[in-house]
Amino acid sequence: MVQMYNLLMKNPKYKLLKILEILIKKADSNHPISTNQIIAILANEYGIVAERKGIYRDLHTLKQNQLAIVYDQHQKGYYLDNYGLKLADVKLLTDMICSSTFISQAQSEALIANIFQFVSDKNCQIIQKQMVYPQNKSTNPDNLITIEKILKAIDENCLITFKYFDLNEKHERVYRHKIYRYQPIALFYDDNKYYLIAYHLGYQSLTHFRVDKIAEVNIQESQPKPYVDLQNYLETSFSMFSGQKENITLEVATDKLNLVYDKIASEILIINKTQTHYQINFYLQINKIFIAWLFANQDFIKVLKPNSLKSAMINYAKAIIETYKEEV
């Protein structure tokens, strides 16, 4: 107690900071905290003796410093309004961190702990009860370090060198027999994986690498930033439907229109409607993924045009039949 008294004498704002901490961690709009509760927490957790008038003065001081401290007349308590993250915000962020297989479970837990610093204890408890980690979380502890180095190189327009590896049947790293040297342009997150979008000075073109397969990144000399059409590269290299765009017309069962909306990002024009079907038109790149998606939904979707897409689907079906016909 003497030590705490000496600390308060040297730094009178210590109690003020602890009251702010209590408001952040112990209260929210659904669970405001009373003056008596603040006094009890100060005493029991921090050894600080306080009285009601002093708490009122401290709360007034915090308000004067642009903190939105609200007193709930109904619940007879205080909370910070518009501070930190709301419950829905925290749920969204923690779900994304938990489900990401790019980082390990330990890294996920550390990131979530950082987020929880700005969340009330009650809301933390609500979120923790619902947190689920997938079994295929990364075991590579260097992924975040790799990202930090790449971000620094991008910011300073520097080249980087790195090693790249594949995994063998024992899930062991097998390094490729070369050192890669590229200018990093961007980091792109797609399908639960991070990719380095990099520029090759010799070929003067973009390519990409899986960040979780990059090792031993070293930052090199600075280079002028090249002009690249990054958006076009991302659309043609990462789009589910990358390839040559064509004018496509489909017949879709009336109750399955949202299936198309959910899968196809292009603008869709409804050109005809009957009691059972829509005819829709859009421009989209045709590739095997799109064709496979059409096959998976062939009970509800029929291709009307172009003929090239019909032929592609016939050839796709023939290839599948050819693969399995001798096995049945």
Task: Specify if 138 maps to a domain.
Answer: no
Q: Give the residue carrying structure tokens 């009307």.
A: 304
Nearest to 241 by CA among 294, 286, 301, 306: 286
| Residue 313 phi, psi dihedral angles, 5° rounding | -70, -40
Contact yes or no for 309/248 (Cβ under 8 A): yes
pLDDT tens digits, residue range 33-44?
Answer: 999 999 999 989
Q: Give the residue carrying structure tokens 């990719």.
A: 195
Residues 76 and 107 in one domain: no
For residue 150, give the amino acid letter: I
Residues 161 and 185 in one domain: yes
pLDDT at 2: 42
Contact yes or no for 166/174 (Cβ under 8 A): yes
Task: Specify if 16 maps to a domain.
Answer: yes
In the chain, what is the straight-line distance between the N-terminal and C-terminal CA atoms, in Å?
83
Q: How many domains does the chain have?
A: 4
Task: Specify if 123 maps to a domain.
Answer: yes
Contact yes or no for 69/80 (Cβ under 8 A): yes
Nearest to 150 by CA among 101, 193, 198, 192: 198
| Residue 318 phi, psi dihedral angles, 5° rounding | -60, -40
Task: Specify if 135 maps to a domain.
Answer: no
Task: Specify if 287 maps to a domain.
Answer: yes
Q: Give the residue carrying structure tokens 């620094």.
A: 152
Residues 155 and 219 in one domain: yes
**243-282 burial, b if ≥16 CB within 10 A, otherwise e?**
eeeeebbbbbeeeebeebeeebeeebeeeeeeeebbbbbb
Q: What is the CATH number of the domain that holds 269?
A: 3.30.70
User: Among 211, 237, 263, which residue terminates a domain?
Assistant: 237
pLDDT in tens, the chain (328 residues): 344 444 444 455 778 888 888 888 888 888 899 999 999 999 898 888 888 888 888 888 888 877 888 898 888 899 888 776 778 888 988 998 988 888 888 889 999 998 888 788 888 899 999 888 888 888 778 889 999 999 999 999 999 999 999 877 777 889 999 999 999 999 998 878 899 999 999 999 999 999 999 999 999 999 999 999 998 888 777 765 555 678 999 999 998 888 888 887 668 899 988 989 999 998 888 888 888 899 999 999 999 999 999 999 999 999 888 888 776 6
Q: What is the CATH number of the domain that holds 15?
A: 1.10.10.10
pLDDT at 12: 58
Q: Is 253 helix (H, G, I), strand (E, B) or coil?
A: strand
Nearest to 274 by CA among 260, 256, 254, 292: 254
CA atoms of 99 and 130, how far apart (whole Å): 12
pLDDT at 241: 55
| Residue 268 phi, psi dihedral angles, 5° rounding | -110, 130
Nearest to 188 by CA among 172, 205, 207: 207
| Residue 166 phi, psi dihedral angles, 5° rounding | -115, 170
Task: Specify if 220 maps to a domain.
Answer: yes
Domain that holds residue 182: 143-237
User: Among 96, 128, 160, which residue terminates a domain?
Assistant: 128
User: Among 214, 237, 260, which residue terminates a domain?
Assistant: 237
Task: Specify if 136 maps to a domain.
Answer: no
